[in-house]
Structure 1
């Protein structure tokens, strides 16, 4: 079993196992993919200033979020179609989240029913949904999450239109999907993945949408139905308000980058925001989430729980985000790379690596409790010490 040293290693491992069409679906961004680079480079605008001669014999990175204590301030972002990269990937990610005691935001576009995920890790699975063009389905998705006993609901709002992901277009990964000769030829260079794909029956089912399709609908037909329901450009604040009225538990909104939008979310009684640019998969010229985070924090203060997603790859990234006021960080690609490459073992390794990195950084900067981090440990680029 291969062992990764850091999260970047999983990307290379996944690239060796997956055909190009599958790897590029995970790896790619929108348009020229400058946003991918910007998401990572933005963390370099900050440095951590260590304080020495502090007793850091014992480090504590437990974090309480929406009334529940988690072992680490990290979680899995929603990622659709994980079952294409490894059969049963969503179940593996749920199990990894339970083992590490961190949240897993199950995507409504996953290949795993939310009800089944709730059975694996009822205290760790959150549900992420896109509002659709059918209000009845929106209502039903919320009701299903509630009936399954999931504690947190997230609405992703930064996909009003399908983005221009040119890698997918060049590779032929479009709807309706067709297995062309060139795709088959490339896939045959990865026989392990092909055998697993065929054994599973081909394209995995988007199980959360199966109830809204005709009886006996194929995986392709269910995916096509999903494509007619989303994106839903008519989604607006009234949509969010209706979901707020229906959902009594913690409700968070994912994908905001503007301070005025954050204030509106607070006014509607939402409990948290995941500041995110969708991993640079939607608007290539959008600013990074870490760049916009301080303005959002200044706008909403302590009114809401603020979290961060997009570009997180190191324990130091998570420490920097906390110094800026983010209580939690989420990431998606690293867990997909890991589970695609190594299955359950890979998913587990992600959290072991990040826990180790966070502990090392906290020890080095003289902060024994993650919750004690603040701006006194932070130096911005160009800032005088």
Structure 2
């Protein structure tokens, strides 16, 4: 990690380690990949107006979420297939989150198990649920999450169907991963990854192993592909809410009316997210819809944010516009790919430092100080409204 200054440095190191077929899976979006640009450009358009003559010599970015106080308002979002980029990456991310005292959401397509997460990071680990065609599988995963001692379940609702990820199609990416001769030749330029893949092969979807008819990595991957193409409705939300007694979060909410309906069904929190620009290419950025969602639900439920954050100042913008907490996916995936636990920890440290500096620059001493009053106003009416 010597010489790493920002998240972009970690991205370059991750790209250097990975063959194109694996790197493009991390970096790619869907269709024309407009959504990727939309997510990041939304932050470039935002403007924070600093307030000076404030004593910012002591700053505190600790944030309380679902009754637990974390050291920073940035956690690790679920990122599937992390073990393909570095063997054991899911649990490395969990370890880094635990040491940084921030939450980590294990992906429903992880290559680590719920039980291992409960052993390594019981106070920081959350689990992401994808609804399976066989509802007994989903219901058993909910039970396993509770038995592992985890306190928060995240039901991801924004994958009604697989999307058109053209980079993956061109590269011949599939589950299980099989490299063509061309792919193997290109992978030889990335010997660290290639040796690991040759030694261990395709990583296992550990959480699905007990349900699959076959026990090889290929058989389990085929089973996951079949089960993940399941219809999802509000009835699933109601059922999972009944089964899960801990904090229940819906990830992928993008409309104020859906946020209100989630609240009416007893959901504790929502994550405003468009799946990192990987599902609907012409969707708005989460940042564009965040203020309307926050206005709709107020303090009735916890509003969290995921999508396009690459700098600590991006997180500050999202917090000013109404998010209670922020999550990042690709940045910590770059980190763990490049340097294991140390790389993931470095990504979190970068965000922490940048958030701290941004708070000092704008005149905020604690996260609770942040709000729309720091944002550039469109007209005098908005200026007056933000003052209140």
Whether 1:367 and 2:357 are equivalent positions in the alignment is: no
* Deviation readout 1:5-38 (Å, 9 max, x if unpaired): 1112111111111000000000000000011011
SS in 2 for 1:179: coil
The answer as to whether partners of 2:336 and 2:342 remain within 8 angstroms in 1 is yes
SS in 1 for 2:376: strand
Measure the CA separation in 1 of the matches of 2:213 and 2:159. 26
Hey, what does 1:221 align to over in structure 2? Answer: 219
Whether 1:94 and 2:91 are equivalent positions in the alignment is: no
Hey, what does 1:311 align to over in structure 2? Answer: 308
Report which stretch shifted further, 239-248 or 1-10: 1-10
The answer as to whether partners of 1:46 and 1:380 remain within 8 angstroms in 2 is no
Whether 1:352 and 2:346 are equivalent positions in the alignment is: no
* Deviation readout 1:246-284 (Å, 9 max, x if unpaired): 001110000010111111101000000000000000111
The answer as to whether partners of 1:45 and 1:381 remain within 8 angstroms in 2 is no
Measure the CA separation in 2 of the matches of 1:364 and 1:6. 18
Hey, what does 2:254 align to over in structure 1? Answer: 257
Under a length normalisation based on structure 2, what TM-score does the superposition of the two structures give?
Answer: 0.96
Hey, what does 1:197 align to over in structure 2? Answer: 197
Under a length normalisation based on structure 1, what TM-score does the superposition of the two structures give?
Answer: 0.97
Hey, what does 1:293 align to over in structure 2? Answer: 290
Q: Which runs of 5+ in 2 are unaligned?
A: 384-388
Report which stretch shifted further, 313-322 or 58-67: 313-322
Measure the CA separation in 2 of the matches of 1:367 and 1:146. 38
Q: CA RMSD in A?
A: 1.3
Measure the CA separation in 1 of the matches of 2:351 and 2:209. 35
Measure the CA separation in 1 of the matches of 2:378 and 2:46. 6
Q: Give 1:45 deviation, angstroms.
A: 2.7
Q: Give 1:176 deviation, angstroms.
A: 5.4
Runs of 4+ in 1 over 4 A off after TM superposition: 380-385
Q: How does 1:59-74 map onto structure 2 within 5 Å?
A: 59-74=59-74
Measure the CA separation in 1 of the matches of 2:152 and 2:26. 25
Measure the CA separation in 2 of the matches of 1:82 and 1:101. 21
Give the number of aligned pairs: 382
Hey, what does 1:148 align to over in structure 2? Answer: 148
Measured at CA, do residues 210 and 59 of structure 1 come closer, stay the same or move farther in structure 2, by a change above 3 Å? same
Measure the CA separation in 1 of the matches of 2:176 and 2:116. 27
Q: Which runs of 5+ in 1 are unaligned?
A: none
Measure the CA separation in 2 of the matches of 1:180 and 1:339. 26
Hey, what does 1:158 align to over in structure 2? Answer: 158
Hey, what does 1:266 align to over in structure 2? Answer: 263
